A = this chain, B = another copy of it.
Amino acid sequence: MTFANVGTLGALPGRRDEIVTILTRLNADLAEAGCLLYEVGVNEDAPDTVFVAELWESAEAHRASLQLESVRSAIAEAMPLLSGEMGGERFEVVGSPLRA
């Protein structure tokens, strides 16, 4: 069942865009690991926050992706730029009004 992970990552002041650069770097491993969508964004009303919206083939595929070397390396690179504040929601997709 499609799994969604949507959330926020707090950035240290002024470091948001560096985190965005790390998270948006092309990573072919993700699709192979079952990632269906991975959108990264910003909101100027919250200038020290990075937003992510992810869809995965399953919760297990998402969990397993965190062990990929390329993902571990990106997390290690972003870690010193993060404030530690994190938020978000995880859910199982039931359907969409865009499809029957």
Binding site for B on A (CB under 8 A): 2, 4, 6, 8, 20, 23-27, 30-31, 35, 37-43, 51, 53, 55, 89-100
Contacts of A2 in B (CB 8 A): 39
Instruction: Provide the main secondary structure of the chain A interface.
Output: strand
How many copies of the chain does the oligomer comprise? 2
- Minimum CB–CB distance from A16 to chain B (whole Å) comes to 10
Contacts of A31 in B (CB 8 A): 98
- Would A51 and B91 count as touching, CB distance under 8 A? yes
* Residue from the set A20, A25, A91 with the largest chain B CB neighbour count within 10 Å: A91
- Would B97 and A26 count as touching, CB distance under 8 A? yes
- Would A26 and B93 count as touching, CB distance under 8 A? no
